Chains A and B, each alone.
Chain A
Protein backbone atom coordinates (compact mmCIF):
# COMPACT_ATOMS: atom_id res chain seq x y z
CA UNK A 1 0.00 0.00 0.00
CA UNK A 2 1.34 3.45 -0.76
CA UNK A 3 2.62 5.40 2.21
CA UNK A 4 0.30 8.37 1.60
CA UNK A 5 -2.76 6.12 1.49
CA UNK A 6 -1.63 4.37 4.68
CA UNK A 7 -1.09 7.68 6.46
CA UNK A 8 -4.47 8.95 5.33
CA UNK A 9 -6.21 5.78 6.56
CA UNK A 10 -4.50 6.14 9.93
CA UNK A 11 -5.72 9.70 10.14
CA UNK A 12 -9.32 8.89 9.22
CA UNK A 13 -9.93 5.68 11.17
CA UNK A 14 -9.43 5.58 14.95
CA UNK A 15 -8.12 2.20 16.11
CA UNK A 16 -10.33 0.35 18.64
CA UNK A 17 -9.29 0.52 22.27
CA UNK A 18 -7.31 -2.53 23.40
CA UNK A 19 -9.35 -5.19 25.22
CA UNK A 20 -7.87 -7.15 28.09
CA UNK A 21 -4.51 -5.38 27.75
CA UNK A 22 -3.62 -5.85 31.41
CA UNK A 23 -4.47 -9.56 31.44
CA UNK A 24 -2.51 -10.07 28.21
CA UNK A 25 0.58 -8.28 29.55
CA UNK A 26 0.37 -10.23 32.79
CA UNK A 27 0.29 -13.50 30.89
CA UNK A 28 3.61 -12.65 29.21
CA UNK A 29 6.79 -13.67 31.00
CA UNK A 30 8.18 -10.38 32.31
CA UNK A 31 11.95 -9.89 32.30
CA UNK A 32 13.36 -9.84 35.83
CA UNK A 33 16.75 -8.81 37.08
CA UNK A 34 19.02 -11.37 38.71
CA UNK A 35 20.21 -11.07 42.31
CA UNK A 36 23.70 -10.16 41.12
CA UNK A 37 22.36 -7.40 38.92
CA UNK A 38 20.25 -6.22 41.84
CA UNK A 39 23.32 -6.11 44.10
CA UNK A 40 25.16 -4.04 41.50
CA UNK A 41 22.25 -1.58 41.22
CA UNK A 42 22.61 -1.00 44.97
CA UNK A 43 26.06 0.43 44.23
CA UNK A 44 24.36 3.50 42.78
CA UNK A 45 22.26 3.95 45.92
CA UNK A 46 25.10 3.98 48.42
CA UNK A 47 25.48 7.58 49.47
CA UNK A 48 28.24 9.60 47.82
CA UNK A 49 29.65 10.71 51.13
CA UNK A 50 30.47 7.06 51.96
CA UNK A 51 32.71 6.90 48.89
CA UNK A 52 33.99 10.43 49.52
CA UNK A 53 35.12 9.42 53.02
CA UNK A 54 37.05 6.46 51.59
CA UNK A 55 38.75 8.64 48.98
CA UNK A 56 39.60 11.31 51.59
CA UNK A 57 41.02 8.71 53.96
CA UNK A 58 43.17 7.28 51.21
CA UNK A 59 44.34 10.73 50.09
CA UNK A 60 45.00 11.78 53.70
CA UNK A 61 46.98 8.64 54.40
CA UNK A 62 49.10 9.07 51.28
CA UNK A 63 49.72 12.72 52.21
CA UNK A 64 50.69 11.65 55.74
CA UNK A 65 53.10 9.05 54.36
CA UNK A 66 54.93 11.89 52.60
CA UNK A 67 54.74 14.70 55.17
CA UNK A 68 54.54 12.88 58.46
CA UNK A 69 55.75 9.31 57.97
CA UNK A 70 56.55 8.75 61.67
CA UNK A 71 52.89 9.40 62.57
CA UNK A 72 51.42 7.47 59.65
CA UNK A 73 50.28 4.49 61.71
CA UNK A 74 48.55 6.73 64.24
CA UNK A 75 46.82 8.64 61.45
CA UNK A 76 45.64 5.50 59.62
CA UNK A 77 44.45 3.92 62.91
CA UNK A 78 42.50 7.11 63.64
CA UNK A 79 40.96 7.07 60.14
CA UNK A 80 39.97 3.40 60.29
CA UNK A 81 36.88 3.99 62.51
CA UNK A 82 35.55 6.47 59.95
CA UNK A 83 35.72 3.77 57.28
CA UNK A 84 33.82 1.41 59.56
CA UNK A 85 31.28 4.18 60.18
CA UNK A 86 30.34 4.25 56.47
CA UNK A 87 29.39 0.56 56.64
CA UNK A 88 27.48 0.97 59.90
CA UNK A 89 25.46 4.02 58.82
CA UNK A 90 24.56 2.47 55.45
CA UNK A 91 23.27 -0.64 57.14
CA UNK A 92 21.08 1.46 59.44
CA UNK A 93 19.73 3.72 56.72
CA UNK A 94 16.49 1.87 55.99
CA UNK A 95 15.39 1.99 59.62
CA UNK A 96 16.45 5.55 60.25
CA UNK A 97 14.55 6.87 57.21
CA UNK A 98 11.50 4.61 57.79
CA UNK A 99 11.92 2.80 54.48
CA UNK A 100 12.33 -0.63 56.07
CA UNK A 101 8.68 -1.64 55.78
CA UNK A 102 8.44 -0.74 52.09
CA UNK A 103 11.71 -2.52 51.34
CA UNK A 104 10.72 -5.65 53.26
CA UNK A 105 7.56 -6.09 51.18
CA UNK A 106 9.43 -6.20 47.84
CA UNK A 107 10.73 -9.16 45.88
CA UNK A 108 14.36 -8.75 46.98
CA UNK A 109 13.35 -7.40 50.42
CA UNK A 110 15.29 -5.58 53.10
CA UNK A 111 17.55 -8.53 53.77
CA UNK A 112 18.98 -8.42 50.23
CA UNK A 113 19.40 -4.64 50.47
CA UNK A 114 21.38 -5.02 53.71
CA UNK A 115 23.52 -7.84 52.37
CA UNK A 116 24.25 -5.85 49.23
CA UNK A 117 25.20 -2.71 51.19
CA UNK A 118 27.30 -4.58 53.74
CA UNK A 119 28.95 -6.62 51.02
CA UNK A 120 29.75 -3.75 48.66
CA UNK A 121 31.06 -1.39 51.33
CA UNK A 122 32.86 -4.19 53.14
CA UNK A 123 34.61 -5.08 49.89
CA UNK A 124 35.51 -1.44 49.25
CA UNK A 125 36.95 -1.17 52.75
CA UNK A 126 38.93 -4.35 52.23
CA UNK A 127 40.44 -2.88 49.05
CA UNK A 128 41.29 0.29 51.00
CA UNK A 129 42.92 -1.83 53.71
CA UNK A 130 45.10 -3.68 51.19
CA UNK A 131 46.07 -0.39 49.53
CA UNK A 132 47.07 1.28 52.81
CA UNK A 133 48.76 -1.69 54.45
CA UNK A 134 51.89 -1.77 52.26
CA UNK A 135 52.29 2.01 52.67
CA UNK A 136 52.20 1.68 56.48
CA UNK A 137 54.50 -1.36 56.43
CA UNK A 138 57.03 0.51 54.31
CA UNK A 139 56.93 3.86 56.10
CA UNK A 140 56.75 2.60 59.69
CA UNK A 141 59.06 -0.34 59.09
CA UNK A 142 56.61 -2.73 60.68
CA UNK A 143 55.80 -6.29 59.77
CA UNK A 144 52.62 -6.92 57.77
CA UNK A 145 50.98 -8.68 60.73
CA UNK A 146 51.59 -5.86 63.22
CA UNK A 147 50.55 -3.14 60.80
CA UNK A 148 47.41 -5.06 59.93
CA UNK A 149 46.47 -5.59 63.57
CA UNK A 150 47.01 -1.92 64.50
CA UNK A 151 44.66 -0.81 61.71
CA UNK A 152 42.08 -3.58 62.07
CA UNK A 153 41.44 -3.28 65.80
CA UNK A 154 39.97 0.27 65.80
CA UNK A 155 38.06 -0.60 62.59
CA UNK A 156 36.47 -3.71 64.07
CA UNK A 157 35.80 -2.04 67.42
CA UNK A 158 33.82 0.69 65.62
CA UNK A 159 31.99 -1.80 63.41
CA UNK A 160 31.08 -4.01 66.38
CA UNK A 161 29.97 -1.14 68.62
CA UNK A 162 28.09 0.64 65.82
CA UNK A 163 26.16 -2.43 64.74
CA UNK A 164 25.38 -3.23 68.38
CA UNK A 165 23.89 0.26 68.80
CA UNK A 166 21.83 -0.06 65.58
CA UNK A 167 20.35 -3.35 66.72
CA UNK A 168 19.22 -1.93 70.02
CA UNK A 169 18.10 1.57 69.15
CA UNK A 170 15.94 2.87 66.31
CA UNK A 171 15.79 5.97 64.19
CA UNK A 172 18.22 8.80 63.48
CA UNK A 173 19.36 8.94 67.12
CA UNK A 174 20.95 5.51 66.66
CA UNK A 175 22.96 6.84 63.73
CA UNK A 176 24.10 9.91 65.69
CA UNK A 177 25.15 7.57 68.48
CA UNK A 178 27.24 5.54 65.99
CA UNK A 179 28.93 8.72 64.79
CA UNK A 180 29.77 9.57 68.40
CA UNK A 181 31.18 6.09 69.00
CA UNK A 182 33.34 6.30 65.87
CA UNK A 183 34.62 9.76 66.83
CA UNK A 184 35.59 8.53 70.32
CA UNK A 185 37.41 5.47 69.01
CA UNK A 186 39.17 7.55 66.38
CA UNK A 187 40.34 10.04 69.02
CA UNK A 188 41.40 7.21 71.32
CA UNK A 189 43.41 5.52 68.56
CA UNK A 190 45.24 8.77 67.77
CA UNK A 191 45.90 9.54 71.46
CA UNK A 192 47.12 6.05 72.32
CA UNK A 193 49.60 6.10 69.46
CA UNK A 194 51.03 9.41 70.72
CA UNK A 195 50.91 8.83 74.46
CA UNK A 196 51.25 5.07 75.03
CA UNK A 197 53.88 3.83 72.55
CA UNK A 198 54.43 0.73 74.71
CA UNK A 199 51.18 -0.65 73.31
CA UNK A 200 52.75 -0.80 69.89
CA UNK A 201 55.79 -2.88 70.91
CA UNK A 202 56.27 -6.39 69.49
CA UNK A 203 55.64 -8.07 72.88
CA UNK A 204 52.06 -6.74 72.85
CA UNK A 205 51.17 -8.32 69.50
CA UNK A 206 49.41 -11.31 71.08
CA UNK A 207 47.00 -8.94 72.86
CA UNK A 208 46.27 -7.11 69.64
CA UNK A 209 45.74 -10.43 67.89
CA UNK A 210 43.31 -11.62 70.59
CA UNK A 211 41.46 -8.30 70.38
CA UNK A 212 41.15 -8.45 66.60
CA UNK A 213 39.97 -12.06 66.75
CA UNK A 214 37.35 -11.36 69.43
CA UNK A 215 36.10 -8.22 67.70
CA UNK A 216 36.12 -9.99 64.32
CA UNK A 217 33.87 -12.72 65.67
CA UNK A 218 31.73 -10.12 67.42
CA UNK A 219 31.36 -8.05 64.26
CA UNK A 220 30.37 -11.06 62.17
CA UNK A 221 27.75 -11.95 64.80
CA UNK A 222 26.38 -8.43 64.79
CA UNK A 223 26.24 -8.47 60.95
CA UNK A 224 24.33 -11.75 60.87
CA UNK A 225 22.13 -10.44 63.67
CA UNK A 226 21.27 -7.27 61.80
CA UNK A 227 20.39 -9.27 58.68
CA UNK A 228 18.35 -11.72 60.77
CA UNK A 229 16.50 -8.81 62.45
CA UNK A 230 15.48 -7.57 58.99
CA UNK A 231 13.49 -10.75 58.41
CA UNK A 232 9.86 -10.84 59.53
CA UNK A 233 9.63 -10.17 63.26
Chain B
Protein backbone atom coordinates (compact mmCIF):
# COMPACT_ATOMS: atom_id res chain seq x y z
CA UNK B 1 0.00 0.00 0.00
CA UNK B 2 1.04 3.57 -0.62
CA UNK B 3 3.43 5.10 1.93
CA UNK B 4 3.95 8.85 2.32
CA UNK B 5 5.97 11.10 4.57
CA UNK B 6 4.80 14.18 6.47
CA UNK B 7 6.62 16.44 8.88
CA UNK B 8 5.16 16.42 12.44
CA UNK B 9 4.17 20.10 12.49
CA UNK B 10 2.59 19.82 9.08
CA UNK B 11 0.65 16.78 10.29
CA UNK B 12 -0.70 18.79 13.22
CA UNK B 13 -1.76 21.49 10.80
CA UNK B 14 -3.38 18.85 8.64
CA UNK B 15 -5.36 17.48 11.62
CA UNK B 16 -6.34 21.00 12.64
CA UNK B 17 -7.78 21.47 9.17
CA UNK B 18 -9.92 18.34 9.64
CA UNK B 19 -11.33 19.53 12.97
CA UNK B 20 -13.89 21.58 11.16
CA UNK B 21 -17.14 19.79 11.83
CA UNK B 22 -15.58 16.38 12.48
CA UNK B 23 -15.22 14.59 15.78
CA UNK B 24 -11.69 13.31 16.22
CA UNK B 25 -10.57 11.15 19.13
CA UNK B 26 -6.90 10.64 19.94
CA UNK B 27 -4.79 9.28 22.82
CA UNK B 28 -3.82 11.72 25.58
CA UNK B 29 -1.78 11.09 28.67
CA UNK B 30 -3.33 10.99 32.11
CA UNK B 31 -1.58 9.46 35.15
CA UNK B 32 1.06 7.89 32.89
CA UNK B 33 -1.57 6.09 30.85
CA UNK B 34 -3.27 6.88 27.57
CA UNK B 35 -6.95 7.63 27.19
CA UNK B 36 -9.03 8.60 24.16
CA UNK B 37 -10.22 12.19 24.27
CA UNK B 38 -11.79 14.51 21.74
CA UNK B 39 -9.23 16.62 19.92
CA UNK B 40 -9.63 20.40 19.85
CA UNK B 41 -7.50 23.41 18.87
CA UNK B 42 -6.05 23.66 22.39
CA UNK B 43 -5.00 20.07 23.02
CA UNK B 44 -3.91 19.12 19.52
CA UNK B 45 -0.21 19.35 20.39
CA UNK B 46 -0.62 17.02 23.34
CA UNK B 47 -1.74 14.02 21.30
CA UNK B 48 0.56 11.12 22.21
CA UNK B 49 1.88 9.45 19.07
CA UNK B 50 3.18 5.92 18.69
CA UNK B 51 3.66 5.05 22.33
CA UNK B 52 1.42 2.16 23.33
CA UNK B 53 -2.22 1.09 23.49
CA UNK B 54 -4.84 3.16 25.31
CA UNK B 55 -6.46 2.07 28.58
CA UNK B 56 -9.90 1.72 26.98
CA UNK B 57 -10.22 -0.93 24.30
CA UNK B 58 -11.00 0.47 20.88
CA UNK B 59 -14.17 -1.68 20.79
CA UNK B 60 -16.02 1.03 22.77
CA UNK B 61 -16.45 2.91 19.50
CA UNK B 62 -18.12 -0.04 17.78
CA UNK B 63 -19.70 -1.86 20.68
CA UNK B 64 -20.45 0.70 23.40
CA UNK B 65 -20.99 -0.37 26.99
CA UNK B 66 -24.69 0.29 26.63
CA UNK B 67 -26.78 1.10 23.57
CA UNK B 68 -30.31 0.85 22.28
CA UNK B 69 -30.77 -1.87 19.68
CA UNK B 70 -34.56 -1.78 19.30
CA UNK B 71 -35.51 0.46 17.69
CA UNK B 72 -32.04 0.80 16.21
CA UNK B 73 -30.15 4.09 16.42
CA UNK B 74 -31.03 6.11 13.34
CA UNK B 75 -28.32 8.70 13.17
CA UNK B 76 -24.71 8.03 13.99
CA UNK B 77 -22.02 10.64 13.54
CA UNK B 78 -18.95 10.01 11.52
CA UNK B 79 -15.96 9.94 13.83
CA UNK B 80 -12.23 9.78 13.34
CA UNK B 81 -10.19 7.75 15.78
CA UNK B 82 -6.47 8.32 16.00
CA UNK B 83 -4.03 6.14 17.85
CA UNK B 84 -5.57 2.71 17.48
CA UNK B 85 -2.87 0.07 17.94
CA UNK B 86 -2.39 -3.22 16.17
CA UNK B 87 -3.76 -5.31 19.04
CA UNK B 88 -7.07 -3.44 18.92
CA UNK B 89 -7.24 -3.52 15.12
CA UNK B 90 -6.90 -7.28 15.22
CA UNK B 91 -9.80 -7.36 17.67
CA UNK B 92 -12.05 -5.85 15.01
CA UNK B 93 -11.84 -9.14 13.13
CA UNK B 94 -13.79 -10.88 15.88
CA UNK B 95 -16.28 -8.01 16.29
CA UNK B 96 -16.95 -7.98 12.52
CA UNK B 97 -17.50 -11.73 12.44
CA UNK B 98 -19.94 -11.63 15.34
CA UNK B 99 -21.95 -8.52 14.55
CA UNK B 100 -21.70 -8.01 10.81
CA UNK B 101 -20.59 -11.06 8.86
CA UNK B 102 -22.86 -13.82 10.13
CA UNK B 103 -26.43 -14.70 9.19
CA UNK B 104 -27.82 -12.19 11.71
CA UNK B 105 -26.60 -8.58 11.61
CA UNK B 106 -26.52 -6.35 14.66
CA UNK B 107 -28.85 -3.37 14.16
CA UNK B 108 -26.20 -0.69 14.82
CA UNK B 109 -22.80 -2.24 14.32
CA UNK B 110 -22.45 -1.92 10.55
CA UNK B 111 -23.45 1.75 10.65
CA UNK B 112 -20.93 2.42 13.40
CA UNK B 113 -18.26 0.57 11.46
CA UNK B 114 -18.93 2.53 8.28
CA UNK B 115 -18.90 5.80 10.18
CA UNK B 116 -15.45 5.22 11.63
CA UNK B 117 -12.29 6.54 10.09
CA UNK B 118 -9.28 4.86 11.65
CA UNK B 119 -5.85 6.44 11.90
CA UNK B 120 -3.77 3.80 13.63
CA UNK B 121 -0.32 4.17 15.23
CA UNK B 122 2.68 1.89 15.55
CA UNK B 123 3.33 0.81 19.15
CA UNK B 124 6.85 1.67 20.26
CA UNK B 125 6.84 1.25 24.04
CA UNK B 126 4.94 -1.90 24.96
CA UNK B 127 3.99 -2.41 28.60
CA UNK B 128 5.34 -5.33 30.60
CA UNK B 129 1.85 -6.81 30.24
CA UNK B 130 1.92 -6.66 26.43
CA UNK B 131 2.24 -9.99 24.61
CA UNK B 132 1.06 -9.56 21.03
CA UNK B 133 4.20 -11.39 19.89
CA UNK B 134 3.01 -14.53 21.71
CA UNK B 135 -0.24 -14.69 19.74
CA UNK B 136 1.07 -13.91 16.27
CA UNK B 137 0.22 -10.21 16.22
CA UNK B 138 2.83 -7.62 15.25
CA UNK B 139 3.14 -4.37 17.27
CA UNK B 140 2.45 -2.34 14.13
CA UNK B 141 -0.83 -2.21 12.20
CA UNK B 142 -1.05 -4.35 9.09
CA UNK B 143 -4.78 -4.22 8.28
CA UNK B 144 -8.16 -2.68 9.21
CA UNK B 145 -6.94 0.95 9.13
CA UNK B 146 -7.58 3.85 6.80
CA UNK B 147 -4.25 5.51 7.57
CA UNK B 148 -1.39 4.32 9.76
CA UNK B 149 1.19 6.59 11.33
CA UNK B 150 4.72 5.44 12.13
CA UNK B 151 6.95 7.96 13.79
CA UNK B 152 10.42 8.52 12.33
CA UNK B 153 12.83 11.40 12.68
CA UNK B 154 10.93 14.73 12.54
CA UNK B 155 7.76 13.25 11.19
CA UNK B 156 5.64 10.28 10.22
CA UNK B 157 5.43 7.66 7.59
CA UNK B 158 1.77 7.56 6.63
CA UNK B 159 0.56 4.30 5.17
CA UNK B 160 -2.68 4.49 3.21
CA UNK B 161 -4.86 1.50 4.01
CA UNK B 162 -8.10 2.21 2.17
CA UNK B 163 -9.79 4.27 -0.51
CA UNK B 164 -11.26 6.37 2.29
CA UNK B 165 -7.73 6.98 3.52
CA UNK B 166 -6.60 8.05 0.08
CA UNK B 167 -9.47 10.53 -0.23
CA UNK B 168 -8.75 11.87 3.24
CA UNK B 169 -5.29 12.95 2.13
CA UNK B 170 -6.42 14.00 -1.31
CA UNK B 171 -3.89 16.14 -3.11
CA UNK B 172 -2.53 17.73 0.04
CA UNK B 173 0.97 18.91 -0.78
CA UNK B 174 2.24 18.48 2.77
CA UNK B 175 2.63 14.76 2.08
CA UNK B 176 5.72 13.58 0.19
CA UNK B 177 6.77 10.30 -1.28
CA UNK B 178 8.69 8.33 1.26
CA UNK B 179 12.39 7.59 0.59
CA UNK B 180 14.52 4.49 1.15
CA UNK B 181 16.30 5.90 4.18
CA UNK B 182 13.00 6.63 5.90
CA UNK B 183 11.73 3.13 5.20
CA UNK B 184 14.93 1.67 6.62
CA UNK B 185 14.48 3.76 9.78
CA UNK B 186 10.97 2.38 10.16
CA UNK B 187 12.07 -1.19 9.62
CA UNK B 188 14.81 -0.89 12.27
CA UNK B 189 12.43 0.66 14.77
CA UNK B 190 9.84 -2.05 14.27
CA UNK B 191 12.42 -4.79 14.69
CA UNK B 192 13.52 -3.28 18.00
CA UNK B 193 9.96 -3.28 19.33
CA UNK B 194 9.55 -6.94 18.40
CA UNK B 195 12.83 -7.71 20.20
CA UNK B 196 11.59 -5.83 23.25
CA UNK B 197 8.34 -7.83 23.26
CA UNK B 198 10.28 -11.08 23.05
CA UNK B 199 12.37 -9.97 26.02
CA UNK B 200 9.27 -9.02 28.05
CA UNK B 201 7.70 -12.42 27.39
CA UNK B 202 10.70 -14.71 27.57
CA UNK B 203 9.35 -16.66 30.58
CA UNK B 204 6.06 -17.51 28.96
CA UNK B 205 5.29 -20.42 26.73
CA UNK B 206 2.39 -20.14 24.30
CA UNK B 207 3.73 -22.66 21.81
CA UNK B 208 1.17 -25.34 22.55
CA UNK B 209 -2.00 -23.25 22.88
CA UNK B 210 -3.78 -26.03 21.00
CA UNK B 211 -3.36 -28.17 24.08
CA UNK B 212 -5.86 -25.97 25.93
CA UNK B 213 -8.55 -27.77 23.94
CA UNK B 214 -10.34 -30.15 26.20
CA UNK B 215 -9.10 -28.70 29.49
CA UNK B 216 -12.62 -28.36 30.82
CA UNK B 217 -12.18 -30.16 34.13
CA UNK B 218 -11.79 -27.66 36.94
CA UNK B 219 -9.07 -29.84 38.48
CA UNK B 220 -6.55 -28.52 35.92
CA UNK B 221 -7.27 -24.95 36.92
CA UNK B 222 -7.48 -25.45 40.66
CA UNK B 223 -3.79 -26.31 40.61
CA UNK B 224 -2.93 -22.77 39.51
CA UNK B 225 -2.79 -20.87 42.79
CA UNK B 226 -3.02 -17.41 41.20
CA UNK B 227 -6.60 -18.04 40.10
CA UNK B 228 -7.61 -17.98 43.78
CA UNK B 229 -7.00 -14.22 43.63
CA UNK B 230 -9.77 -13.63 41.09
CA UNK B 231 -12.57 -11.51 42.58
CA UNK B 232 -14.93 -11.91 39.59
CA UNK B 233 -14.83 -8.18 38.83
CA UNK B 234 -15.03 -8.64 35.06
CA UNK B 235 -12.32 -6.10 34.29
CA UNK B 236 -10.60 -8.62 31.99
CA UNK B 237 -13.78 -8.88 29.93
CA UNK B 238 -14.61 -5.21 29.81
CA UNK B 239 -11.12 -4.15 28.77
CA UNK B 240 -10.71 -6.94 26.20
CA UNK B 241 -10.78 -5.99 22.52
CA UNK B 242 -12.57 -9.22 21.59
CA UNK B 243 -14.94 -9.90 24.48
CA UNK B 244 -18.38 -9.45 22.94
CA UNK B 245 -20.76 -10.82 25.58
CA UNK B 246 -23.78 -8.71 26.31
CA UNK B 247 -27.22 -8.98 27.82
CA UNK B 248 -30.47 -7.50 26.57
CA UNK B 249 -32.79 -5.50 28.74
CA UNK B 250 -36.35 -4.47 28.02
CA UNK B 251 -36.90 -0.79 28.58
CA UNK B 252 -40.41 -0.34 27.27
CA UNK B 253 -42.81 1.55 29.53
CA UNK B 254 -45.81 1.88 27.25
CA UNK B 255 -46.24 -1.58 25.75
CA UNK B 256 -43.98 -1.07 22.74
CA UNK B 257 -40.83 -3.10 22.11
CA UNK B 258 -37.59 -1.46 23.20
CA UNK B 259 -34.33 -3.15 24.02
CA UNK B 260 -30.92 -2.09 25.12
CA UNK B 261 -27.75 -4.11 24.87
CA UNK B 262 -25.32 -3.94 27.83
CA UNK B 263 -21.91 -5.58 28.25
CA UNK B 264 -21.85 -8.69 30.40
CA UNK B 265 -18.98 -10.67 31.88
CA UNK B 266 -18.55 -14.45 31.98
CA UNK B 267 -16.68 -13.92 35.25
CA UNK B 268 -19.86 -12.81 37.02
CA UNK B 269 -21.38 -15.76 38.92
CA UNK B 270 -24.83 -14.95 37.50
CA UNK B 271 -23.71 -14.76 33.88
CA UNK B 272 -24.87 -18.22 32.83
CA UNK B 273 -27.30 -18.84 35.68
CA UNK B 274 -30.74 -19.87 34.51
CA UNK B 275 -34.02 -18.93 36.12
CA UNK B 276 -34.08 -22.29 37.88
CA UNK B 277 -30.86 -21.30 39.69
CA UNK B 278 -28.72 -23.87 37.89
CA UNK B 279 -25.52 -22.73 36.23
CA UNK B 280 -23.02 -24.67 34.15
CA UNK B 281 -20.09 -22.94 35.88
CA UNK B 282 -20.72 -22.76 39.63
CA UNK B 283 -17.08 -22.35 40.71
CA UNK B 284 -14.52 -19.59 40.25
CA UNK B 285 -12.17 -22.02 38.50
CA UNK B 286 -14.74 -23.01 35.90
CA UNK B 287 -15.54 -19.36 35.22
CA UNK B 288 -11.88 -18.39 34.96
CA UNK B 289 -11.21 -21.37 32.69
CA UNK B 290 -14.20 -20.39 30.55
CA UNK B 291 -12.65 -17.07 29.62
CA UNK B 292 -9.35 -18.65 28.63
CA UNK B 293 -11.01 -21.50 26.75
CA UNK B 294 -13.36 -19.07 25.01
CA UNK B 295 -10.41 -16.99 23.76
CA UNK B 296 -8.12 -19.79 22.63
CA UNK B 297 -10.48 -22.63 21.81
CA UNK B 298 -14.16 -21.71 21.38
CA UNK B 299 -13.56 -18.52 19.39
CA UNK B 300 -11.10 -20.38 17.22
CA UNK B 301 -13.79 -22.99 16.45
CA UNK B 302 -16.36 -20.25 15.87
CA UNK B 303 -14.31 -17.80 13.81
CA UNK B 304 -11.10 -19.59 12.80
CA UNK B 305 -9.02 -17.01 14.69
CA UNK B 306 -8.18 -16.93 18.37
CA UNK B 307 -9.91 -14.30 20.49
CA UNK B 308 -6.75 -12.82 21.94
CA UNK B 309 -4.59 -10.14 20.38
CA UNK B 310 -2.07 -9.85 23.20
CA UNK B 311 -3.04 -6.33 24.31
CA UNK B 312 -2.44 -7.36 27.92
CA UNK B 313 -5.30 -5.29 29.37
CA UNK B 314 -6.64 -8.37 31.19
CA UNK B 315 -3.26 -8.51 32.97
CA UNK B 316 -2.67 -4.84 33.72
CA UNK B 317 -6.29 -4.30 34.79
CA UNK B 318 -6.54 -7.35 37.04
CA UNK B 319 -7.05 -6.32 40.65
CA UNK B 320 -6.07 -9.83 41.73
CA UNK B 321 -2.73 -9.39 39.94
CA UNK B 322 -3.29 -12.51 37.90
CA UNK B 323 -0.96 -12.77 34.94
CA UNK B 324 -2.84 -14.72 32.31
CA UNK B 325 0.42 -15.59 30.56
CA UNK B 326 1.67 -17.30 33.70
CA UNK B 327 -1.61 -19.13 34.20
CA UNK B 328 -1.61 -20.45 30.64
CA UNK B 329 2.05 -21.44 30.84
CA UNK B 330 1.40 -23.33 34.08
CA UNK B 331 -1.80 -25.02 32.95
CA UNK B 332 -0.14 -26.22 29.76
CA UNK B 333 2.91 -27.44 31.67
CA UNK B 334 0.61 -29.24 34.11
CA UNK B 335 -1.18 -30.92 31.24
CA UNK B 336 2.06 -32.13 29.72
CA UNK B 337 3.07 -33.58 33.09
CA UNK B 338 -0.19 -35.44 33.68
- Is chain B a partner of chain A in the same complex? no
What residues make up the interface of A, taking CB atoms closer than 8 Å to B?
A: none
